[in-house]
Structure 1
Amino acid sequence: MNTVFVVGSLNIDQNIRVRALPRAGETVPGSDATFSPGGKGGNQAVAAARAGATVKFTGAVGDDVHGRRILEVLSEARIDTGHVRVSGTAATGTAVIAVDDQGENQIIVSPGANSGVTAGDVEAGLAAVRAGDVLVLQLEIPAALVRQAARTAKGRGAFVILNAAPAPREVDGLLDDVDLLVVNEQEIEVLAGLAGIRGSHLDLVRTLPPILGPAIICTAGAEGSHTVLDGNPVHVPATKVAAKDTTGAGDTFVGYLAASLAGDPRGLPAAMVHATRASALAVTRNGAMESIPWRHEVQASAPLPAMPSLVVPN
């Protein structure tokens, strides 16, 4: 199997449970806060590793208790952290996450040490990239570094996946070296607005790739995920589960998707099914990184749907 490289964020998640998410200007009571390792980059790396991939990570944490805990969890997942910078001047990034009784969430991210990742860190972390490897990127580190990482990996023959989250404010050059864009319903609408077009997420999965460049997978929660393959729409239904916490579900999807594509770069529909099953299991647990299942758990979980007929006739 080829290697999955991840360049991205590492955060400590401060989790608070609430009965209902607050509206603008509203104060609501919540549970005592708990702290757990997270960050979109870290979550996706752990998901890829627990799916069975060899994973190398580039990023940064603070020289503090949270940073050390994150590095422990990455090491437990057998992720190569040799290119994780430990900052002596910035604290580990923090995400404040409110989760309601339906499992929905609101998240505020403070970048901390993530802002200290340098161009040199990116080049060093990707020095071993070769043809057939997979690079996974998100947007919780500076966009200039995301563009640099994509350009470097693409130039060496790697397959580049960008999870455009948080949604970008502009796309100038951001997607030039991206092969596959993974977004949710809100993020694809933001991208469509930047491109000056409108439509449902189902329409946008088809109409945006010729405009933006990369192929697109749109994840749509309980509706499943959508893409277009060889001109035909592809829909992978969601696995029906009782959700406790949707935090990290999208990251689980991306990590498992990347691991599957590292094993079989032509197997996109099967990779989407595998990623869907993993993310369904993740939402039955609390938290982000700690909720991500291992491959044997996904294989053993039940009930799981059989491989659907994915290509929907026009």
Structure 2
Amino acid sequence: MTGIAVLGSTNMDLVAYVARAPARGETVTGREFRTVPGGKGANQAVAAARAGGEVVMIGAVGDDVYGAALRAELEHSGVFTDLLHTAEGPSGTAHIVVDDEGGNAIVVIPGANSTMTALGSGETAAIGAADLLLLQLELPLSAVVEGARSARAQGVRTILTPSPVQLLPDELLDCVDLLIPNEHEAAALTGLSEPQAAAAVLLRHVPAVVITLGAKGCLYAARDGAPLHLPAPAVTAVDTTGAGDTFVGTLAVALGEGRPVPEALAWASSAAALCVQKPGASTSMPYRSEIDAA
């Protein structure tokens, strides 16, 4: 079984469903509201665990009712939470508007996540015991860099999702084995809107990159081979929230199992396609049996 450490955020998603998102200064009437466990770190942890990985979550929740619910949801999906610390104050929240086309807009309030500024010996040991480390950018950058350095020093493969997008220091990129931005993040990082051109620039900094393209699939590029474009399964999207995290978590499991890259990408794409057909983030993530059947 693939061992995966996830150093990342845990948020409660507060989701409003509307026919269309409001413009600036505009008020619209929604049709439904839900609270759904989320956060990019927790989402990737749940996706990987449901896909068959042995997953440990490293992060923090608040001492509020959301914190207890977030921990319970992770444990229900089979994620180990001994290194999910409880901090004084509120848990992180994500305020999400989802329109009838499945698109979303998100505002994240870090809350307890902002207390994760450094790692202790337990966190470092958990990273060293894993096959892969998954990182995102919803924790303080100091902890993300420290996690990446720890993984590199211990020979652990590292996958970084550069979201929310920001300038990435060389000390972080030097420790990343696979970078997985979406097409908007890739454009923001490189100034290039064409995915293949953006990938070429990113390969100057990391050995391999996957740019996710939504309904258009994904683009894989590595320094030692030709780019590969994989189309996405044709489905009707209900809610795209969490699709990227589903892709990353599932891909990590497939790569950890030693699957060839094209096969691993196809498996992860199938998982993401299943995710977008249901509302919510972690609640819509498929289990291994569902991915295999798809």
Query: What band does the TM-score fall into relative to the shorter chain?
Result: over 0.9
Flag as ranges the 4+ runs of structure 1 deviating above 4 A: none
| Percentage of pairs with the same residue | 45
Task: Give the match for residue 236 of structure 2.
Answer: 242
Task: Give the match for residue 161 of structure 1.
Answer: 159
Provide the C-alpha distance between the structure 1 equivalents of 2:128 and 2:14, rounded to a whole number of angstroms. Answer: 37
Is the 8 Å Cα contact of residues 85 and 117 (structure 1) preserved in structure 2? Answer: no
Provide the C-alpha distance between the structure 2 equivalents of 1:295 and 1:52, rounded to a whole number of angstroms. Answer: 6
Superposition pairs of residues 154-303 of structure 1, within 5 angstroms: 154-193=152-191, 198-210=192-204, 212-229=205-222, 230-264=224-258, 267-301=260-294
Task: Give the match for residue 94 of structure 1.
Answer: 93
Provide the C-alpha distance between the structure 2 equivalents of 1:217 and 1:297, rounded to a whole number of angstroms. Answer: 23
Provide the C-alpha distance between the structure 2 equivalents of 1:120 and 1:137, rounded to a whole number of angstroms. Answer: 14
1:208-256, Cα deviation, whole Å (9 max, x unpaired): 212x234110000111000124330111110111110000000000000
Is the 8 Å Cα contact of residues 190 and 201 (structure 2) preserved in structure 1? Answer: no
1:242-281, Cα deviation, whole Å (9 max, x unpaired): 11000000000000011111111x6222211111000000
Provide the C-alpha distance between the structure 2 equivalents of 1:9 and 1:188, rounded to a whole number of angstroms. Answer: 21
1:133 to 114, 124, 131: 131
Task: Give the match for residue 305 of structure 1.
Answer: none
1:109 and 2:102 aligned? no
In structure 2, the CA distance between the partners of 1:118 and 1:206, relative to structure 1 (3 Å rule), is: closer
Is the 8 Å Cα contact of residues 57 and 125 (structure 1) preserved in structure 2? Answer: no
Provide the C-alpha distance between the structure 2 equivalents of 1:294 and 1:2, rounded to a whole number of angstroms. Answer: 15
Provide the C-alpha distance between the structure 1 equivalents of 2:146 and 2:248, rounded to a whole number of angstroms. Answer: 20
| TM score, norm. by length of structure 1 | 0.89
Is the 8 Å Cα contact of residues 12 and 37 (structure 1) preserved in structure 2? Answer: yes
Provide the aligned C-alpha RMSD in A. 1.5
Give SS of 2:172's match: coil
Provide the C-alpha distance between the structure 1 equivalents of 2:55 and 2:19, rounded to a whole number of angstroms. Answer: 37
Task: Give the match for residue 145 of structure 1.
Answer: 143
Give SS of 2:249's match: helix
1:56-96, Cα deviation, whole Å (9 max, x unpaired): 11000011211111111111111110000011x22110000
* Equivalenced residues, count: 293
Is the 8 Å Cα contact of residues 11 and 38 (structure 2) preserved in structure 1? Answer: yes
Provide the C-alpha distance between the structure 2 equivalents of 1:142 and 1:101, rounded to a whole number of angstroms. Answer: 33
* Unpaired segments ≥5 residues, structure 2: none
Write the letter of the residue equivalent to 1:14.
Answer: L
In structure 2, the CA distance between the partners of 1:98 and 1:124, relative to structure 1 (3 Å rule), is: same
Provide the C-alpha distance between the structure 2 equivalents of 1:120 and 1:129, rounded to a whole number of angstroms. Answer: 10
Pairwise CA distance, 1:172: 4.4
* Unpaired segments ≥5 residues, structure 1: 302-314
Q: Which moved more, 1:16-25 or 1:141-150?
A: 16-25
Provide the C-alpha distance between the structure 2 equivalents of 1:132 and 1:9, rounded to a whole number of angstroms. Answer: 18
Provide the C-alpha distance between the structure 1 equivalents of 2:118 and 2:142, rounded to a whole number of angstroms. Answer: 9
Task: Give the match for residue 311 of structure 1.
Answer: none
Give SS of 1:167's match: coil
Give SS of 2:83's match: strand
Task: Give the match for residue 309 of structure 1.
Answer: none
Task: Give the match for residue 312 of structure 1.
Answer: none
Write the letter of the residue equivalent to 2:189.
Answer: L
Is the 8 Å Cα contact of residues 119 and 146 (structure 2) preserved in structure 1? Answer: no
Is the 8 Å Cα contact of residues 131 and 157 (structure 1) preserved in structure 2? Answer: no
1:141-195, Cα deviation, whole Å (9 max, x unpaired): 01111110000011101100000011114434231200000000110011103xx
Is the 8 Å Cα contact of residues 187 and 195 (structure 2) preserved in structure 1? Answer: yes
Is the 8 Å Cα contact of residues 158 and 178 (structure 2) preserved in structure 1? Answer: yes
Is the 8 Å Cα contact of residues 276 and 284 (structure 2) preserved in structure 1? Answer: yes
Is the 8 Å Cα contact of residues 217 and 226 (structure 1) preserved in structure 2? Answer: yes
| TM score, norm. by length of structure 2 | 0.95
Pairwise CA distance, 1:115: 0.5
Write the letter of the residue equivalent to 1:162.
Answer: L
Provide the C-alpha distance between the structure 1 equivalents of 2:202 and 2:25, rounded to a whole number of angstroms. Answer: 36
